[in-house]
Structure 1
């Protein structure tokens, strides 16, 4: 479903500016992922219910680092995605849900940066996975 933001709402939306804003969009995004017919089975197979709070905490740090330049996130996100049974459709859906979430909640430079970086990360991960599987050169 496509949500079209009314003009009056666009004028009052703020940019991503705080850690609380990051928590808001990460939670909203993963709520959508966990309900998505394509993505939920992948995430459910990798992240048991009791580990979701820890996963979300890592995602707050990850996106906070991207948007605000802090270095609190430690890890190799690609290593967690490499073994997953995912392909182009999964990454496309992930980007669609991410962009939609940001657009529903925020407007501004950081919001645009978040959407751009999400699309870039998805493209890089997809290309690396396809290359490692011998499906791309």
Structure 2
């Protein structure tokens, strides 16, 4: 069996490539820029924070401090379909950085997270 090639360096690269696309996306960019801000400093801090989240999810490392569900629940309402756009961009970026088996592992985790967030945002009464 091939060994996983998921590393901190690749996760950092994923954050750079993915969030560059997010910032420029017509619909997602507006949501993220409103939540994070538009300065490069704020985006760097966000990439570091989310990179730490993925380090924990994928490597059992990192020092992520936060509540991602709460952060998403507190956002102004946005269309559920944007989760598909987010996942599409995420998968596109994964394929640029990771081999197919690692891409599949990471994408499955992202899909599970997205499903949980959608359930909490659109099906549970707040």
Q: What TM-score comes out, normalization by structure 2 length?
A: 0.86
Structure 2 residue 119 is matched with structure 1 residue 127: yes
Query: Which of structures 1 and 2 has the larger relative contact order (alpha carbons within 8 angstroms, sep 6+)?
Result: 1
Q: What TM-score comes out, normalization by structure 1 length?
A: 0.80
* Number of equivalenced pairs: 121
The equivalent of 1:63 in structure 2 is 54
**Bigger Rg, which one:** 1
Structure 2 residue 70 is matched with structure 1 residue 76: no
Whole-angstrom distance in 2 between the partners of 1:63 and 1:26: 9
From 89, 97, 109, give the equivalent of 1:105. 97
Structure 2 residue 24 is matched with structure 1 residue 35: yes
Q: Retained in 2: the 8 A contact 1:67–1:114?
A: yes
Whole-angstrom distance in 2 between the partners of 1:22 and 1:109: 15
Q: Retained in 1: the 8 A contact 2:6–2:98?
A: no
Q: Retained in 1: the 8 A contact 2:10–2:97?
A: no
The equivalent of 1:95 in structure 2 is 87
Q: Retained in 1: the 8 A contact 2:91–2:103?
A: no
Whole-angstrom distance in 2 between the partners of 1:109 and 1:73: 25
Q: Deviations over 1:13-58 (max 9, x none)?
A: xx64321110001110111111111100100111112411111110
Q: Deviations over 1:56-94 (max 9, x none)?
A: 110110111111112521211011111222232111100
Q: Which range is displaced more, 123-132 or 67-76?
A: 67-76
